Amino acid sequence: MVDFRLGDELEELRASVRQFAREQVAPVIADHYENKTFPYDVVRQMGKMGLFGLPFPEESGGMGGDYFALCIALEELARVDSSVAVTLEAAVSLGAMPIYRYGTPAQRERWLPALLSGEALAGFGLTEPGSGSDAAGITTRAVLDEATGEWVINGNKAFITNSGTDITSLVTVMAATGTNPDGSRELSTIIVPSGTPGFTVAPQYSKVGWCASDTHELFFDDVRVPAENLLGVRGRGFAQFLRILDEGRIAIAALSVGLAQGCVDESVSYAKQRVAFGRPIGDNQAVQFLIADMELRAHLARLGYYDAAARMLAGEDFKRYAAIAKLNASNAAMENSRYATQVHGGYGFMNESAVGRFYRDAKILEVGEGTSEVQRMLIARGLGL
C-alpha cells in the first residue's frame, strides 16, 4: 500500500520547525529582508535545533536523520521565508554534504563539527560570470606547485551562497587542474578556508529576492592552499558535484513547495479578513478558485519531491525524478506567488507583506541549481532522447 503520510518523528519535526518559523522567523524577517542583513540570531537558533545536522549520522556529529527530513524542514521554513530556508539548504547540500561525502577523515574531523552544528557555514564555488548552466566551461584554474606541495588557484566565482558571512569557514572551489587524455579539462574540487591570502569576497549583491541571504562574487588571485585540501578524487570534481546537485534539486523543490504553500496560507487568511462590497472577498467564487488552484499546485508539487526523495533514499536512479520535482515545484512557486499577489491586491505589492517577498523570491527558484530549461533537458535524456 502506498502511503504518503509522514511518520510520528517526521510529523514532530514538521510541527517544531513550523512553530519556530512562525514564532521566531516571521516577526524579524521583514526587517532583515528590507535592510538586507543576515539573520545570525535565526541561524544560531536553527543550529541549536539541530537543523544543520539533520541528514548526517550521529557518529559524524549529525542528528541521525536523512535527506527527506531536511526537505521537510526546508518546506516549513519556506512557508514563512525563503532567505532563511535557502541559507539552511545551501549550508547542508552545498556546504557540508561535499565534505561528508568526499572528504578525507582529516577533512571531516576538521570541518564537519562546526558545519553540522550551525556554528559555521560553507559555500560551493561552481558558477562563474561566464559559466552557469554550462558548468563544465569554468575557467578557474588550480596548478599544483610540486616544490611547495600547494595548489595555486586563480579565477573567480559568481552568485555563491553563504560565502561571505562572519561565520563562513570555507568555500569549496571547482577548478581546472589539468588535461585529461582525451583532451578535455580535468576538473577537481579544492577546499579554500576563509581568510586565505589572495581569496577576496566581493560586497554583497543587490538582489531582487532572497534579500536576507548571503550571496557574493569571489576572487582568487594566486591563492595557495595545501595539496591535501583536494576534496575527493582529482579529476572527479565535476562528477562528484553532479551527485550533489541532483540531491540539491530535491531540496530546492521542497523549498519551492514551502513558498507555494505559504502563498496559500497567506491568501486564505487574507480572503477571510478582507471585506469588499459588504462581505469577505473569500465569499467570491473567483477568489475561491484562485486559491483552490494554488492549493492544487502546492499539493501536487509536494508529492513530486516526496517521490524523488523516496527514490534517492532507496538507492534508485533518481536524477530524472529530481528534475521533475524541481521543475514542477518552482513553476508552482512562481504561479502561486503571482496568484497570491492578485488576491491581496495593492497590499500584495508592498515589500512589507509576506506575499510581496514571496513574489520576489519565487523567480530565482526557476534559475538556481539548474534552470527550468536544464531540468527539461535532464527529463528528456532520462527518457532516452
Q: Please report the pLDDT score of residue 316 as a whole number.
A: 95
Domains in the chain with CATH codes: 8-121 (1.10.540.10), 123-235 (2.40.110.10), 239-382 (1.20.140.10)
Q: Which position has the grid cell 516526496?
A: 306
Q: Please report the pLDDT score of residue 5 as a whole number.
A: 82
Q: Is the pLDDT at 95 greater than 70, yes or no?
A: yes
Q: Please report the pLDDT score of residue 48 as a whole number.
A: 96
Which grid coordinates belong to 318? 533518481
Tell me how far apart the alpha carbons of residues 149 and 303 are, in angstroms, rounded to a whole number: 49
Do residues 121 and 168 touch, judged by C-beta distance below 8 A? yes
Q: Which amino acid is at 112?
A: L
Do residues 297 and 375 touch, judged by C-beta distance below 8 A? no
Q: Please report the pLDDT score of residue 136 as a whole number.
A: 67
Q: Is the pLDDT at 81 greater than 60, yes or no?
A: yes
Q: How far is CA 28 from CA 17, 74, 380, in A?
A: 16, 18, 43
Q: Is the pLDDT at 217 greater than 80, yes or no?
A: yes
Could you give phi then psi for residue 179, rounded to 5 degrees?
Answer: -125, 135
Q: Is the pLDDT at 45 greater than 70, yes or no?
A: yes
- Mean confidence (pLDDT) of the chain: 94
More confident residue, 2 or 169: 169
Q: Please report the pLDDT score of residue 93 as a whole number.
A: 95
Burial of 86 from C-beta contacts in 10 A (0-12 / 13-18 / 19+): buried
179-189, pLDDT tens digit by residue? 888 878 899 99
331-366, pLDDT tens digit by residue? 999 999 999 999 999 999 988 899 999 999 999 999
Give the pairing of strands 141-145 and 230-231: unpaired
According to DSSP, residue 131 is labeled B
Closest of 66, 61, 119, 136 to residue 306, by C-alpha: 66
Q: Please report the pLDDT score of residue 183 as a whole number.
A: 77
Q: How far is CA 374 from CA 1, 7, 169, 297, 355, in A?
A: 34, 34, 31, 21, 28
Alpha helices in 213-280 (DSSP H): 237-273
Closest of 235, 219, 241, 107 to residue 163, by C-alpha: 219
273-329, pLDDT tens digit by residue? 999 999 999 999 999 999 999 999 999 999 999 999 999 999 999 999 999 999 999
Closest of 103, 19, 17, 90 to residue 61, by C-alpha: 103
Helices 82-89 and 237-273 cross at an angle (nearest 10°) of 160
Tell me how far apart the alpha carbons of residues 215 and 164 are, in angstroms, rounded to a whole number: 7
Q: Please report the pLDDT score of residue 2 as a whole number.
A: 64
Could you give phi then psi for residue 230, rounded to 5 degrees?
Answer: -60, 130
Mark 40-70 as b/e (b = at least 16 C-beta within 10 Å). Answer: eebbeebbebbbbbbbbeeebbbbebbbbbb
Which residues, 6 or more positions from 314, have their beta carbon under 8 angstroms from its beta carbon? none
Mean pLDDT of 242-265: 95
Instruction: Please give the helix or strand (H or E) that residue 33 lies within, else none.
Output: helix 26-35
User: What proportion of the chain, given as a percentage, has pLDDT over 70?
Assistant: 98
Q: Please report the pLDDT score of residue 147 as a whole number.
A: 94
Which residues, 6 or more positions from 242, have their beta carbon under 8 angstroms from its beta carbon? none
- Give the residue numbers marked as catalytic: 369
- The 3-state DSSP class for residue 143 equals strand
